[in-house]
Structure 1
Amino acid sequence: MVAALLLTLFCAASPAQAAGYRYWSFWESAAGAWTYATQGPATARPADGAVNGFRFAVSADSSDSAKPRTAPDFAKICADTPAKAGTKRVAVVVDFGTPEHAPAGETPPQQRAACAQIGTDGTSAEALAAVAKPLRYNSEALLCGISGYPGTGCGEQVDVSKEGAAEAKPKPDSASDSASASASEGSGGGPSLGLVAGVAAVVALGAAGWWQTSRRRRRDG
């Protein structure tokens, strides 16, 4: 009886099927490493010498997004682009992702890096357009395609379990892009500690009731 109750409760406590989104994430360089951008490329205005990164992948939210696999090395990427008065240089890394994250029927191009030279007040979107046209946006100004990839779709929801994992990624610790990411699973991907504790308490009460009932029956019999 107790075992059946425990099994039923844990089945009910199991997290729902993980959901993610297939989209282009935007990254900036900081101390030689990639950091998730806090604003979109249309409003970000990188300084001369900055590195911007774009990565296509499936992820649940910003905290588990896959980073560009090319290091943010401005000196290397812009080595052949001399400084010019009235402009700024922005290194742009475009990582088209892996086959398992590609939409059906599409193959991701090889990742690339280029040096964009734009006006001093230019945005990251302008830097990207200077080196990776054609770009595709939807009606809400969401970046959907870079250099024609992917040809269709824009931020669609997908089943993460079916997409696989392109690389090891940290567990979500925030829900900036998906409010349900941390609510649907615990720190280890299963039921949360509070939920397990609640299940244990219910099972303990059930066991106590069963023991008292059995004892009463033996006494009355």
Structure 2
Amino acid sequence: MTRGRVRWGRLVAGAFVAALLGLLAAAPAQAAGYRYWSFWDRDGSSWAYASQGPGTARPDDGAVQGFRFSVSEDSKDAAKPRGAADFDTICAKTPAEDGRKRVALVIDFGTPGDAPDGETPPEPRTACARIADDATSADALAAVAKPLRYGSNALLCAIADYPKSGCGEQVAGDGESEGTEKKASASEESGSGGPSVGLIAGVAAIAVLGAAALWQARRRRG
């Protein structure tokens, strides 16, 4: 084999390794999430992510709503409230009153894996809030699960004093908080998308280098 061919082989191999390293660097890291209370409406036998925040939503009499504390990337992967969610069962001991409405609430404090450092989530609970006809979901929650804590953008930070600190902070892929408050809205958009430009470029570079190596090998054999 001539020196030129050896040099060419080393060049192709080096470029291949460089492109592969670039591809790995361009691949997205484990997605970060946010630690926060999500808000849900009961739709028949299933939960639907609420289209309004609890401060503006005005549930009807007989409604069932849920709150779940968890770490999630966006509304599409948010954990749903667990446990029974039947209005007649939750509000069985709360009689109706004229001029007031009853709203059944399912409050799920989440799992130990979602809890901030040093805190233990309480057991999930249900409650029946009897409130004024024009009251909001936030009013219903305040009637049965004080103390509540809110942050900027009216983000619900704590229910029944859980968690004691933090408010929608970003959580890195390793589970550690990064201290960035979640800019939440009632209806969230997913931040996921297609492959990055760097990822596509890396794949293309490897394909080109592989074709060049194959052409060179065939040339030597010929």
Instruction: Tell me the TM-score normalised to structure 1 length.
Output: 0.79
RMSD over aligned CA atoms reads 2.7
Q: Which residue of 1 aligns with 2:30?
A: 17
How do 1:107-186 and structure 2 match up within 5 A? 107-162=120-175, 177=188, 180=191, 182-183=192-193
**Partners of 2:34 and 2:71 within 8 A in 1:** yes
Aligned counterpart for 1:26 among listed residues 19, 35, 39: 39
Letter of the structure 2 residue corresponding to residue 45 of structure 1? R
Aligned length: 199
Distance of 1:146 and 1:125 partners within structure 2: 11
Max Rg structure: 2
Deviations 1:10-63 (A, max 9, x none): 413421232110000000100121110011000000011101100001010001
The AA in structure 1 aligned to 2:74 is D
Cα distance in structure 2, aligned partners of 1:160 and 1:200: 25
C-alpha contact 1:33 1:72 (8 A) present in aligned 2: no
Identify the match of residue 48 of structure 1 among 42, 48, 61.
Answer: 61
Look up the SS of the partner of 1:25 in the other structure.
strand
- More moved, 199-208 vs 116-125: 199-208
User: 1:148 Cα shift?
Assistant: 0.6
Cross-structure match for 1:105:
118
1:7, CA displacement in angstroms? 3.2
Q: State the Cα deviation string for residues 144-178 of structure 1 (Å, max 9, x = none).
A: 01011111110000124437xxxxxxxxxxxx646
Structure 1: gaps of 5 or more residues = 164-175, 187-191
Q: Which moved more, 1:11-20 or 1:118-127?
A: 11-20
Where does residue 203 of structure 1 map in the other structure?
206
Q: TM-score, normalised by structure 2?
A: 0.79
- In the alignment, the residues of structure 2 paired with residue 47 and residue 24 of structure 1 have an alpha-carbon distance, to the nearest angstrom, of 22
Q: Give the equivalent residue in structure 1 for 2:4.
A: none
Shift of 1:216: 6.0
CA–CA distance in 2 between the matches of 1:195 and 1:76?
Answer: 54
Listed as ranges, the gaps of 5+ residues in structure 2 are 1-12, 177-186
Q: Distance in 2 between matches of 1:30 and 1:118?
A: 21
The answer to whether the 8 Å contact 1:59/1:160 transfers is no
- Distance in 2 separating the partners of 1:62 and 1:136: 21
Q: Distance in 1 between matches of 2:28 and 2:207?
A: 23
